[in-house]
Amino acid sequence: MPRLVTLLLLPLSWLYAGIMAVRNWLYDAGMLTAGRFPVPLISVGNLRVGGTGKTPHVAWVVRELQELGEHPAILSRGYGRRTKGYRLVQPTDTATTVGDEPRQHFLDFHSAVPVAVAEDRRVGLLELLKHQQLSVIVLDDAYQHRRVHPTLSVLLTEYQRPFYSDHVLPAGRLRESRAGAARADVVVVTKCPSHLPDAEKLAIEARISRYTRAGVPVLFSAYLYGAPVAVGASPAPASTGVVLLTGIAQPEPLRTYLASAGYQIEHHAAFSDHHAFTPAEIQAVCAQLRPGQSIFTTQKDAMRLSQPALQRVLAGVPVFYVPIEVRFLADGASRLRALLVSSFQPQAVV
């Protein structure tokens, strides 16, 4: 956003930040109550709108909980779905009925991890606990959902766009002021270079620590990209020329990876985060393909491409998504694992 526009929008940002500050104060002062539940709640969220890597970090946390012998579930809002209320994700659900990220989690864990969606996390938790034998629930993107009190709050911030350099909406992309970081139990700086110098880590940690409580750890993570996975019955990519299709907040890291892996992006069809693709848009993307080329996309976007109308357009077209995993730098994985273990304490129900 141009600096002049940012300056002009700052008064609106201050107003919005003030409203959010009053709301947070009411919760902090106990005038509004946050529910507690009989199982630990692990919240993974951010201060910024989109693009911090919540989905792969939620998956990392769930896998770690499974390794610890726990029985986790995932509760999400289900952003972008066309349904309302509580819904337990089923094999027949699509991105339209539950949202792209919940459907991705459901497929990633092969139905072994219950995944539910609900706008009101408190209602969602009560419903989820009625029907499932669970020992822990991971709250996806619930950092601002103050009606629920998390046992452990994991705050994500992107390396290229840290919250301490951003402004509140509409001048920036923050959902609340930087002071909101004080609620975090751990901060993870995401999408870092795999070899981040120690001096830079210390500088980033010092900036973040201005807003967090004393002693809150700051960890660093990077993305690991896997081999392209076929969507449907596509064979292996026939050439390095690709048409990139994205509907995510920050496609730049994927573009950088593809270039480093030897792929040549002939065309990039970039849409907004959670964009609902139309058949006409997908037809236009397919028209950019040349003989031997493939469409590459993200796993989250592939969830939305599964709609029957889009599948008809893509029939016979080679489409692949690039999977992502999280890798923590230095001892970040063991430190976060220790925090997960420490979260298993009896919780009173409110």
Q: Write down the pLDDT at residue 2.
A: 66
Whether 157 and 191 have beta carbons less than 8 Å apart is answered as no
Residue 224: count of CB within 10 angstroms of its CB: 13
Is the pTM higher than 0.85? yes
Q: Could you tell me where in the chain the CATH 3.40.640.10 domains are found? A: 229-322
What does the CA dihedral 261, 267, 272, 273 come to, rounded to 10 degrees?
Answer: -30
Looking at the predicted structure, is the pLDDT value of residue 240 above 50? yes
pLDDT score, position 65? 98
pLDDT, tens only, 38-50: 999 999 999 999 8
Respond yes or no on whether the N-terminal peptide bond of residue 2 is cis (omega within 30° of 0). no
CB-CB contact of 166 with 212 (8 Å) = no
Beta bridge partners of 73: 137
CA 47 vs. chain centroid, Å, equals: 12
Query: What are the beta bridge partners of residue 44?
Result: 140, 154
Separation of alpha carbons 249 and 260, rounded Å: 21
Q: Are 113 and 74 in contact (CB under 8 A)?
A: yes
The pLDDT of residue 348 is 47
Exposed, middle or buried by CB within 10 Å (0-12, 13-18, 19+), for 249? middle
Average pLDDT rounded to a whole number, residues 241-258: 94
Measure the CA–CA gap between 322 and 298, rounded to whole angstroms. 6
Q: Indicate the SS3 state at residue 303.
A: helix
Residue 300 CA to residue 156 CA, distance in Å, equals 18
- Pick among 1.10.101, 3.40.720, 3.30.420, 3.40.50: CATH of 3-70+135-223+328-342: 3.40.50
Domain with CATH 3.40.50 in the chain: 3-70+135-223+328-342
CA distance 295 to 336: 36
How many whole angstroms separate alpha carbon 40 and alpha carbon 320? 37
Give the residue ranges of DSSP H helices in 152-278: 198-209, 252-260
Distance from the Cα of residue 40 to its chain's centroid: 20
Q: What is the DSSP string of 93-131?
A: --HHHH-HHHHHHHHHTTTSS-EEE-SSHHHHHHHHHHH
Q: What is the DSSP string of 197-233?
A: -HHHHHHHHHHHHTTSPTT--EEEEEEEE---EESSS
CA–CA gap between residue 186 and residue 221 (Å, rounded): 13
Mean of all residue pLDDT scores within the chain: 93
Q: What is the pLDDT of residues 279-300, one digit of tens each?
A: 999 999 999 999 999 999 999 9
The pLDDT score that the predictor gives to residue 233 is: 73
Q: Read off the pLDDT of residues 297-318 as tens digits, 9 standing for 90 and up.
A: 999 999 999 989 999 999 989 9
Distance (Å, whole) CA 254 – CA 202: 26
The distance in angstroms from the start CA to the end CA of the chain is: 43
Judging by DSSP bridges, how do beta strands 136-140 and 152-158 pair with one another? unpaired
Evaluate whether the domain defined by 229-322 bears CATH number 3.40.640.10.
yes
User: What are the pLDDT digits (tens) for 96-154?
Assistant: 999 999 999 999 999 899 999 999 999 999 999 998 889 999 999 999 999 999 999 99
